Amino acid sequence: MKTFNIGELSEKSGVASHAIRFYERENLMPEPARTHSNYRRYPEDAIARLQFIIHAKQWGFTLDEIRELLMLQDANGDRAEAKRIAKKQLEKIRHQIQSLSRIEAVLSETLEECSGEGPMDGCPIVEAIAQKG
Amino acid sequence: MKTFNIGELSEKSGVASHAIRFYERENLMPEPARTHSNYRRYPEDAIARLQFIIHAKQWGFTLDEIRELLMLQDANGDRAEAKRIAKKQLEKIRHQIQSLSRIEAVLSETLEECSGEGPMDGCPIVEAIAQKG
DNA sequence: CTTGACCTTAAAGTTCACTTTAAGGTTATG
DNA sequence: CATAACCTTAAAGTGAACTTTAAGGTCAAG
């Protein structure tokens, strides 16, 4: 089986060496084997684990949540737990979409109202922001 | 005309005293008048200015952007500038909505696939995150 | 006239997810 | 065998938007 040191793993995974060490300190990556000169030696599946982390981050999971998911996997834990975490994430995302959509509606309407000409005094954009709510 | 010291302004605006001082250092709030004992004395329109800041933050503007908007107002500047800032913000928000919607679609589909029973091994949620992309 | 609730400043701490720096040890190449 | 490109650690820095702390001065009530 092929093994890599941290620079190679960094290149293959797209995660900076320092970030990999950071994930190790944060218990997202397991402590790898070491060479006689104390260099980290990673097995191939470390690439997949880092890509899991990258992808979960893109989905908006925090490192705390990702750690939970990884620990569940490592312990081959209960699928119900993973579902609970993912459900919470889905609700968070739906909530964010709702908030942003409300803002999008008001902001785009306001932008149509504003000619973009003349002085700030009476500018619809500023007035829209000034309204409470 | 009524004036307030910082605690009263904090109560009326809902912004913590320390945050008000922070906004002053950051040039979002003007330096107010002082009493003989060096206490800050705010005019009534300080409330509206703080509420403008709060609201703009809710719309996702950064303090830098809010400072720009406030400076435009203070200088009675060009409405085109305000429109440019708001347009950029609208694009940012639309982009966020798009990203989140894509995530929402995949995540909710994945959640339906996952029974929530059994061990982690083969869990559709984990597998969905593990896919690159 | 003392207690407590205000106010002042500067500076350090918070959270998140890293990045950068400092000060070295190791390995591959010419 | 020198030099460059790796690797090691601990600790400090980043940015955003504050919050907290430290060390005091002031004011109203009893």
**Pair of tokens at residue A48:** 């997949």
Reported as a pLDDT band with limits 50, 70 and 90, residue A131 is confident
* Calpha distance B40→B12 (Å, rounded): 15
- In A, minimum Cα distance to B127 occurs at A52
The most distant pair of C-alpha atoms in chain B lies apart, rounded to whole Å, by 72
Give the strand order in the sheet containing B33-34: B3-4, B40-43, B33-34
Residue among A71, A76, A84, A100 with most chain B CBs within 10 A, to mutate: A100
Question: A55, B133: Cβ pair inside 8 Å?
Answer: yes
Task: Tell me how far apart the terminal alpha carbons of chain A are, to the nearest angstrom.
Answer: 60
- Find, among B23, B3, B72, the residue nearest to A121 by Cα: B72
Per-residue 3-state assignment (H helix, E strand, C coil) for chain B: CCEECHHHHHHHHCCCHHHHHHHHHCCCCCCCEECCCCCEEEECHHHHHHHHHHHHHHCCCCHHHHHHHHHHHHCCCEHHHHHHHHHHHHHHHHHHHHHHHHHHHHHHHHHHHCCCCCECCCCHHHHHHHCCC
* A117 contacts on B by Cβ (under 8 Å): 79-80
pLDDT > 70? residue B132:
no
Residue B85 is predicted with a pLDDT of: 94
State pLDDT tens for residues B70-100. 999 999 999 999 999 999 999 999 999 999 9
The mean pLDDT value of chain B amounts to: 95
* Calpha distance A46→A12 (Å, rounded): 10
Query: How many CB pairs below 8 Å do chains A and B form together?
Result: 145
Residue A132 is predicted with a pLDDT of: 62
Give percent above pLDDT 70 in chain A: 98
The phi, psi pair for B119, rounded to 5°, reads -80, 170
What mean pLDDT comes out for the span A108-115? 94
What mean pLDDT comes out for the span B58-78? 95
Of B59, B79, B114, the CB nearest to A123: B79
Span CA (B36) to C1' (C6), Å:
15
Give percent above pLDDT 90 in chain A: 95
pLDDT > 60? residue A133:
no
pTM of this prediction? 0.90
Question: B79, A116: Cβ pair inside 8 Å?
Answer: yes
Strand D contacting residues by CB (7 Å): A 5-8, 10, 17, 21, 38-40; B 16, 18-19, 22-23, 35-39, 57, 62-64
Burial of B70 (0-12, 13-18, 19+ CB in 10 A): buried
